[in-house]
Amino acid sequence: MNRKLQTALGVAAIAIATQAAAQITFYEGEGFRGRSFTTDRQVADMERRGFNDRASSAVVEKGRWEVCEHGRFEGTCVVLRRGSYDSLSSLGMSNNISSVRPVVREPRGVVEAPAPLPAPTYEYRQRPNERLFEAPVTSVRAVVGPPQQRCWVERQQVVEDRGSPNVGGAVLGAIIGGVLGHQIGSGRGNDAATVGGAVVGGAIGANTGRDGGTVVSGQDVQRCTTTAPSGPPQYWDVTYSFRGAVHRVQLQTPPGPTITVNAQGVPRG
């Protein structure tokens, strides 16, 4: 057999084997969201597949793939390895891929993309050949975030009465006052004078030795108040119904009247 023919047949066999072991899925949105396109063979013109300059993220299921900005593998090209590329913008290929093919032999002058993510970061991406359904959304709740607490320190006046009754003086004054009153009065008047003297003496004795007055001072007091959460929603808590069962999911963007799910009711972007 002619050596050139043998070489050509060998290359063709390698290409067929490579394509059989290669598969790549492109997504319109970053993070594996939106409409997808999957292929296991070279596509010289993505326009014919309705996906020209639309890919923003990609998942290489098998093999290595060369993606190019122009049709027929022209212009800037990048080789993607097995793994997940949640954004093609860092490679300069976001919405900029027009042709793609499995890598049969190392292409010259083609940039090898940095190591991809080992697995998709977006668990709701559509899998290849997966049938999808539309489930009606029953409720949507925007979650802004937890309540916020605001605290401050303010100066507060404290009034302190430092004067305290002189108990010993009160007792002694009551005794002395009672004796003096008893000496002044006679009969029932004597009893009244005794009691009156005791009361007056007690009052005088209680205030004897008292430093008296009030002292006004200041102290720092912390006060707090809780305010309602504000700002844009952090996520949307969505409830939907599918095949008689109620499901809940948290989404980063608000949904429409329906949500796309697979046959098990799991959301798909």
Q: What is the pLDDT of residues 82-126, one digit of tens each?
A: 888 988 998 999 999 999 999 987 767 778 888 787 655 556 677
Task: Say how far apart CA 145 and CA 158 lie, in whole Å.
Answer: 39
Question: What domains can be seen in the chain, in order of their start residue?
Answer: 3-124 (2.60.20.10), 130-146+229-269 (2.40.50), 150-227 (no CATH)
Residue with tokens 């996906």: 51
Task: Say how far apart CA 196 and CA 26 lie, in whole Å.
Answer: 106
Share of the chain above pLDDT 70, in %: 66
On the question of pLDDT at 9 being above 50, the answer is: no
CB 259 within 8 A of CB 147: no
**pLDDT tens figures, 18-65:** 444 579 999 888 877 778 889 999 999 999 999 999 999 998 988 999
Task: Say how far apart CA 256 and CA 169 lie, in whole Å.
Answer: 86
> Would you say the C-alpha torsion 11, 13, 17, 19 has a positive or negative sign?
positive
